[in-house]
A and B are shown apart, each in its own frame.
Chain A
């Protein structure tokens, strides 16, 4: 028997647009505004619904993911459930203690030491002093900053800072944990650790509401997903279905593809995605190399197969294609059994900034299957002095130029 922890009914949040009402104002603005509104009635068009008619239930030991593009209303929803801002309409019932982690290290003070910040941040997130004292060693060990607990955090590397901040939050014991895209930080090893911690949280019967652009994280963690767009729920339900629909739209923030259902009995895809060190999920800086990674399982012995990918522009023009048989002689040997990954590295300084679609194909047991436009990704401008943004053409390779003197 599961317990209802959060029940949201028709939540809506309206903001008034226009400089005067969104930001802070001076008294003078306020006065001139009042004079102006005597003459002209405020029009409905100035209202903006960041969230409208959103309902869902969250039970114990349940993890619900919230996905959608930037500006879809995800953060607004979390802020309402966290009681930071008030809904304009609808209501939510909370049964139990809620802790929210909308930003890592909120309340951290750079001048204070790691130890002092753990206590401060813990208190801000709702822990009692006794509770923090009890968990202090565990928190510091989790963050791997034992040697630096008495150093001001302004001298921490950004990695240490983030680890410490997440460690505090990870040791909260609320009934409902609300998390906004905080796992997008830290190195891979630490991310894995955090993921493990989130699994623990659920295993202890707590509920999690998590926003992420990272579809693999969402599909690993959640049974249920809510897809928001323009402040409204587009689709909600079992993770696989919602993510598939979201990806089918092609255009999710996140550059990856996860099959809707297991495919075939000889070969099974788990996921195909873009792995890059630069930018968020789904974006790659123009000067950085990135990998297209295929994650799959070979279920029975078979003759050598072939994976291939094609990148096309947003208009559909093919830009380039590559196949796993291009470079790896080993591929002429039969595929190994079991789960494995194949990576194709696409060099930096190749594609011009813009949106691209990835089409893949796999040839398994001499049968080729084409998967068109399984996801999109964006090459972003470099924003650096040496940027070569805005070049004509579809590729912008970094070519060698040299001056030659003639005697």
Chain B
């Protein structure tokens, strides 16, 4: 093994091989985050259920009853929860990975490991809550007797797309956060606003056709539509140009984010 340490000139390589070498650390940091999240809490992991449950109750009353948002043949709470689990996965994964580097500043200034490990492990730890909310959706579907469509086989792909968006934007923000503490104020703002502009409380079919493509600039729109389509089948058709845009955008965000991160990470220890 031979490694050269010197001032870097030019652009950084991604060095995925090294990331692979440290893969166990991704697991350990995620495991720590999950353990710590529910230590010394009374109801523990049930917290992962309380948040979506209360949100769905409020959505059902406000959007379902008062605003009479159409939900097609699917009962409104099921439709909303299907959107919410995707949104919540994104928002947790995105905010956790955005603050992962600054949150681990002690590690950054005292130990070497590929810095991308931090946002990656934040993504992994957010999957734990997702599993719990997915179980909750399954129960709700049983309750309302909504059959699972065979298209559910596609769900993992939309899950992957959701994680790619969260990771891509998360690593952009994580790198920016080290230098600009403004990011701390921006993260909750994006998460809050995103809940309303993404089709969580309503099906994206209510967006007028001519705005549909523009609306798909929010890559989470494609993910949430995809979640509903794979769970409930053809009754919630996918807007294909929107999905294509979503995929292209998320891959672009991930790749540009990874390079931005790698090119700024050499300064992390000095400025964190």
Interface residues of A (CB under 8 A from B): 15, 22-27, 30, 79-98, 100, 102-103, 106-107, 109, 111-112, 116, 119-120, 123-126, 128-129, 152
Contacts and interface: CB of A to CB of B under 8 A. Distances in A.
A109 B32 contact: yes
Given A109-B36, A116-B35, 11 more contacts: A15-B270, A25-B181, A84-B110, A90-B6, A94-B1, A95-B1, A95-B2, A112-B32, A112-B36, A123-B28, A128-B24
A120 B32 contact: yes
A107 B5 contact: no
Contacts of B8: 86
Contact of A27 (B113, B180, B269): B180
Contacts of A87: 5-7
Interface in B252-272: 266, 269-272
B6 A92 contact: yes
A251 to B, nearest CB: 29
B107 A124 contact: yes
Contact of B1 (A89, A90, A96, A124): A96
Given A25-B180, A84-B269, A124 B25 contact: yes
Nearest to B40: A111
Nearest to B180: A27
Q: Which 8 A-B pairs have the closest CB atoms?
A: A91-B6, A123-B28, A83-B112, A92-B5, A94-B3, A106-B110, A85-B269, A111-B39
A384 B180 CA distance: 38
B111 interface: yes
Contacts of B110: 84, 100, 102-103, 106
B56 interface: no
A24 B111 contact: no
B1 A97 contact: yes
Interface centre among B5, B25, B35, by most A CB within 10 Å? B5
A81 B182 contact: no
Given A83-B112, A86-B8, A93 B3 contact: yes
Contact of B111 (A81, A84, A95): A84
B36 A107 contact: no
Interface residues of B, number: 36
B111 A111 contact: no
A23 B32 contact: no
A157 B110 CA distance: 23
A123 B25 contact: yes
B4 interface: yes
Contacts, number: 113
A138 B163 CA distance: 40
A90 B4 CA distance: 10
A22 B59 CA distance: 47
A124 B4 contact: no
B106 interface: yes
A91 B24 contact: no
A80 B107 contact: no
Contacts of A116: 32, 35
Contacts of B40: 111
A25 B7 CA distance: 23
Interface in B1-44: 1-8, 24-25, 28-29, 31-32, 35-36, 39-40
B35 A86 contact: no
Contact of B24 (A94, A109, A129): A129
Contacts of A125: 111
A245 to B, nearest CB: 29
A102 B35 CA distance: 26
A99 B42 CA distance: 39
A266 to B, nearest CB: 49
A124 B113 contact: yes
A83 B5 contact: yes
A87 B266 CA distance: 10
B109 A120 contact: no
12 contacts: A24-B179, A24-B272, A26-B182, A82-B112, A88-B7, A91-B4, A95-B3, A102-B111, A106-B107, A109-B36, A111-B36, A123-B24
B178 interface: yes
Contacts of A83: 3, 5, 112
A107 B33 CA distance: 12
Contacts of A124: 25, 28, 107, 111, 113
Contacts of A91: 4-6
Contacts of A22: 271
Contacts of B178: 24
A86 B5 contact: yes
B112 A100 contact: yes
A86 B107 contact: no
Nearest to A29: B180
B36 A100 contact: no
Contacts of A92: 4-6
A68 B91 CA distance: 49
Nearest to A112: B35
A109 B40 CA distance: 14
Given A107-B111, A129-B24, A86 B266 contact: yes
B39 A23 contact: no
B271 A24 contact: yes
Contacts of B107: 106-107, 124
A15 B24 CA distance: 34
Given A106-B106, A107-B106, A124-B107, A93 B112 contact: no
B147 to A, nearest CB: 42
Contacts of B31: 120
B24 to A, nearest CB: 6
A83 B108 CA distance: 11
Contacts of A102: 110-111
B2 A24 contact: no
Interface in B178-212: 178-182
Contacts of B272: 24
Contact of B180 (A15, A30, A98, A128): A30
A206 to B, nearest CB: 15
A119 B28 contact: yes
B180 A26 contact: yes
B19 to A, nearest CB: 14
A92 B6 CA distance: 7
B164 to A, nearest CB: 26
